[in-house]
Chain A
Amino acid sequence: MKKVLAIVLTCLLLMPLIAATGAAAGSDEIVDGRFVETKKITVEVYDRGLDGGKTTPENNFYTDYIKEGMLRDHNVEVTFIPVDRWNETEAINNLLAAGDAPDVCVTYSYPTIQTYANMGGVLDMAPYLEEYKDLLPNLWGFLGEFNLYYDRDPESGTVWAIEAKLVNNARTNTFVREDWLAKLGLAEPTTLEEFEAMLYAFKDNAELLLGEDADKMIPLAISYDVGWRIDHLVAAFVPDDLSDKDAYVQGFDDRHLLYPGYKEAIRKVNEWYNAGLVWQDFALYGAGDTTEINLEKSGFVGAFMHNWDLPYRDGPDGIHGGMKTVVGEDAAFIAVESFPNDAGAYRKFLSNPIDRKVFFPATNKEPLASMLYLDWITDIEHKTFLQIGEEGVTHEVLADGAISIIAATNEKIINSQYNIDYTITSNGLDLGDVGLRMRSLGLGYGGVDASYILNAFNASIHEGRVFEHFSCGKIESEEGVDEMLKQKRDAFLAQAIVAKTEDFDKVFDEGMADYLTSGGQAIIDERAAAYAKYYGE
């Protein structure tokens, strides 16, 4: 018995040593779009957890559709690797560092890609995009030069990542309780003053609006990610004549922290916080926490700013849907435009039509198969199926051809809205035809009245501004500081908001100074120099 045990243990010990290392890549010969030899690739997919009856992201009805299709059309076997959506940067960092990254990676963080590219850890996609252009008609047709070459280095011509296309560039919105406005006889606020007066009205009428729960009243909810959660307010404080150049030079932070006027926007929120208008506990909860969403679902929140369609997502399980059950049928959040800037325009800073960044790590031994994968999921037929699923199960077609989404609960449930986690070259409903898309846009929210969604869409892009894109190559000072600067930004903004009125300037200025000396200023300087180099003064 002892001997057997010892032998078993020894064998167990030796097993990993015996295990062979990866096989060498075979031939790249292609006949009729199919590899002669079967290729194998791995693809990253975001994991958003299984709440709400979702299926495992790496193995479900839609991954089967992709796997079967890729094998049939290109003779490529696809395996999905789930990566936590809410810690995607850390997760992909770890995978890259360990040499275990999927062949096709996706992230929102370009600095991460640049950092690894500098170490030689990322494949240059440029030669493949050029050489195999004929094999990639969908990729070239849909993304075009703008997205494919968005990150191309102006000098070396390298392309470390291609940018997915943001099909609609609606970004954030300001939502207020429609039913509360009606109860208090208020109109939708159209100026900062009216918005402020509305917050005070919510607070002062807490008993009327919430009854027994009056002490739970939160006129305005924000979160630790202050910049995102006051996006529209910030835009009102930035001078309208901000030039494209300045927007680039001071545009490292995607919350626009470095734009002129930012401090005054925060000062406003600080004033509201001290007046008891802002959720007092906001800073205690971190990323992915659902406390705030639950407060909104429970009907305690009067207003908030967030992703342009957030309250309407997830149908009956979402904020809007949840309120209908908990609060009452008339409870609703509606998107408003309340913050005109110095020129009287309801400005929103919208991004260029770029979204997630797709890249191949250096460990990718099948770049061509990976390129064909990207082309395959970009094909409008495949993409349409992934976005809306089967007719009668996850969508129905209305008389005018519009697509109405049905919230499925079986194994065909769509995990992320329109399956964007699989259509990694595209974000936002894209059915090939703009008219059809617009007719369908409001019907994708599992039972939420379409007028809310169309109103939110229009409010989010009305008088929006997209700054010009400048190809200034890599900015070295941006590498390795992205996450650290984000942490600093979030911390000092939260601290400035909860500061006593008389301490506000001190807290904000110290925080900003620390942000700048920790790398912010170096980025501004290097961007200014790079701009001058390629575009002149």
Chain B
Amino acid sequence: MDITPARAPRARARETITYWKRYWTLYALLALPVAFFVIFRYIPMAYIQIAFKKNNIVMNIWQVPWANNHGFENFIKAFSNRDFRFALRNTIGLNLLDLLIGFPAPILLALLLNELPFRRFKRFTQTIAYMPHFLSWIIISGLALQLFAPTSGLVNILIRRMGGTAVPFLDDPGHWVWTYILLGVWQSVGWNTIIYLAALTNISPELYEAASVDGAGRVRKIWHITLPGLRPTIVTLLIMSLGRILGSEFDRPYAMANKLVTSVSNVLSIFVYNNGIKSSQFSLTAAVGLFQSAVCVMFLLAANSLAKKFGERGIW
């Protein structure tokens, strides 16, 4: 009979209808986050073009004429700007130091916490170490001033009372970099251990027992069991950190900086703030932002493929 071919599509249609009847609410829920990304992340991307256009934020963006030099005027202006080059140098320098010191710190802390036999003490230490994460950089910079100011700072007062000379923690560019980096570690180390501690719970206790039977000591167990167990997590986080190598936070350098250390504290985000928001050169600073993003993506891709080459999973 020739009924069957007609029935099949109808059955499929009915299936689709049932499917939608059953699940439309889930899609409705999904609509909100999707709309969020479309409205707040993708539509604004149309404005990236101001990096290639003359500086005008009053006119309709599509009508603003292109910048000179085939639209690359703003990039040329940025790279010939001395302040931009210094900001680039400072951004890379501070981020590299952060990576070098700030990246291994939570791994070490996680290993230390993992070795603690007293669960309560471990919990307690962990909680204390988290706390600074919840302080804003404005508050931390206020604390830093109270502690490290050259004459009125508590630490310097102590040093002087003990017969030493005050340390210019905040007012000498060289010292400031270390204060900046170490305060960064202090603020984030506890929080960043969470992910490593979670990964540690996935390592099978049997491995440790077996190692003990074979006569392995603590250090050997850490080296041969714990660290290899953490490796995928470390690699993933490292890739993500490398993706941020040219990115720059704003609140941390802005809050911590002062007039005496501008030679090291002016990073790209501050450059963008001073020239874009404060001086309304939005095209110039959009060009800087775009350059930053492009470099970050390249680093991310490079780090990811490198990781895959060495047999790790990468992040996608």
Which chain A residues have a beta carbon within 8 Å of chain B's beta carbons?
A: 2-3, 5-7, 9-10, 13, 89-90, 93-94, 96-97, 99, 112, 115-116, 119-121, 216, 224, 280-281, 283-286, 362, 480-484, 487, 490-491, 494-495, 498, 514, 517-518
- Contact between A284 and B82, CB atoms less than 8 A apart: no
* 20 pairs of residues in contact across A and B, judged by CB atoms under 8 Å: A9-B31, A9-B32, A89-B278, A93-B277, A93-B278, A96-B280, A99-B58, A119-B58, A280-B150, A280-B151, A281-B149, A283-B171, A283-B260, A480-B279, A487-B262, A494-B259, A494-B260, A495-B259, A514-B82, A518-B83
- In B262-277, the 8 Å CB interface with A consists of 262, 274-275, 277
Q: Are B279 and A483 in contact (CB under 8 A)?
A: yes
Asked if B278 and A97 make an inter-chain contact with CB atoms under 8 angstroms apart, the answer reads: no
Contact of A90 among B170, B260, B277, B282 (CB under 8 A): B277
Residue among A9, A13, A97, A480 with max Cβ neighbours from chain B (10 Å): A480
B68 contacts the other chain (Cβ, under 8 Å)?
no
Please indicate the chain B residues that have their CB under 8 angstroms from the CB of A7 in the complex: 28
Interchain CB contact (< 8 A) of A121 among B25, B58, B152: B58
**Residue from A13, A115, A491 in contact with B280 in the complex, judged by beta carbons closer than 8 Å:** A115
Q: Could you say which of B28, B31, B149, B275 contacts A284, with CB atoms under 8 Å apart?
A: B149
- B249: shortest Cβ distance to chain A, in Å? 18
> In the complex, what residues of A have CB within 8 A of residue B260's CB?
283-284, 491, 494-495, 498
| Chain A residues closer than 8 Å to B281, beta-carbon distance | 480
| Contacts A94-B277, A487-B274 given; does A13 touch B171 at CB 8 Å | no
Given the interface contacts A120-B58, A498-B260, does A482 sit within 8 Å of B151 by beta carbon?
no
CB-CB nearest in chain A for B273 = A90
Highest count of chain B CB atoms <10 Å: which of A89, A115, A491 = A491
A121, A362, A484, A491: which contacts B278 (Cβ < 8 A)?
Answer: A484
Q: Which residues of A contact B82 (CB under 8 A)?
A: 514, 517-518
Query: Which residue among B28, B58, B59, B282 has the maximum number of chain A CB atoms within 10 Å of its CB?
Result: B58
Judged by a CB distance under 8 angstroms, whether B126 is at the interface is: no
A535→B192 CA distance, assembly (Å):
66
A483 to B281, CA, bound (A): 11
Counting CB contacts under 8 A, is B145 at the interface?
Answer: yes
Complexed CA–CA distance, A484 and B259 (Å):
13
| Interface bin, chain B | 20 to 34
B97 within 8 A of A: no
**Contact yes or no, B278 A3, CB < 8 A:** no
**CA A517 to CA B111, docked complex, whole Å:** 53
For A483, list chain B residues within 8 Å (CB). Answer: 274, 278-279
Q: Are the C-beta atoms of A498 and B171 separated by less than 8 Å?
A: yes
Q: Is the CB of B258 within 8 A of A286?
A: yes
User: 9 shortest A-B CB distances, which residue pairs?
Assistant: A6-B28, A121-B58, A483-B278, A494-B259, A119-B58, A491-B262, A119-B56, A283-B259, A2-B25
User: Would you call B306 an interface residue if the criterion is a C-beta within 8 Å of the partner chain's C-beta atoms?
Assistant: no
Considering only CB atoms, which chain A residue lies closest to B149 in the complex? A281
A97 CB contact (under 8 Å) in B171, B258, B259, B280 = B280
What is the CA–CA distance of A86 and B170 in the complex, to the nearest angstrom?
24
Q: In the bound complex, how far is the Cα of B151 from the Cα of A94, in angstroms? A: 38
Query: B226 in the interface, Cβ–Cβ < 8 Å?
Result: no
Cross-chain contact of B35 among A13, A93, A362, A481 (Cβ < 8 A): A13
Q: Which residues of B contact A94 (CB under 8 A)?
A: 277
- A116 near B149: Cβ-Cβ < 8 Å: no
Binary CB contact string for chain B from 269 to 297 against chain A (1 if under 8 A, 0 otherwise): 00000110111111000000000000000
Partner of A480, one of B29, B58, B258, B280: B280
Residues of B within 8 A of A491 (CB): 259-260, 262
Residues of chain A within 8 A (CB-CB) of B278 are: 89-90, 93, 483-484
Contact B259 A482 (CB under 8 A): no
Specify which of A97, A115, A284, A286 lies most central, judged by the most chain B CB atoms within 10 Å of its CB.
A284
A93 vs B273: C-alpha distance when bound (angstroms): 12
| B95 contacts A by Cβ under 8 Å | no
Interchain CB contact under 8 A, A284 and B145: yes
> Beyond A9-B32, A121-B58: 7 further Cβ-contacts under 8 Å?
A5-B25, A99-B58, A115-B280, A119-B57, A281-B152, A484-B83, A484-B279
Residues of A within 8 A of B91 (CB): none
Q: Once the chains are docked, how many angstroms separate the CA of A216 from the CA of B150?
A: 12
| B35 touching A116, Cβ below 8 Å | no
State how many angstroms separate the Cβ of A85 from the closest Cβ of chain B. 16
A224 touches B259 (CB 8 A): yes
Point out the residues of chain A lying under 8 angstroms from B279, CB to CB.
Answer: 115, 480-484
Q: Measured between alpha carbons, how far is A216 from B24 in the docked complex, in Å?
A: 71
Residues of A within 8 A of B59 (CB): 119-120
Assembled-state Cα–Cα distance A94/B170 (Å): 31
Chain A neighbourhood of B274, CB < 8 A:
483-484, 487
Known contacts A119-B55, A283-B259, A97 near B145 by CB under 8 Å: no
List, in ascending order, chain A residues with CB within 8 A of B57's CB.
Answer: 97, 119, 121
Q: Which residue of B lies closest to A499 (CB)?
A: B260
Hey, which chain B residues are within 8 Å of A362, CB to CB?
58
Chain B nearest CB, measured from A516 CB (Å): 12
Q: Which residues of B contact A280 (CB under 8 A)?
A: 150-151
> Complex formed: what's the CA distance from A490 to B274 in Å?
14
In chain B, residues 46-105, which have Cβ atoms closer than 8 Å to a Cβ of chain A?
Answer: 55-59, 82-83
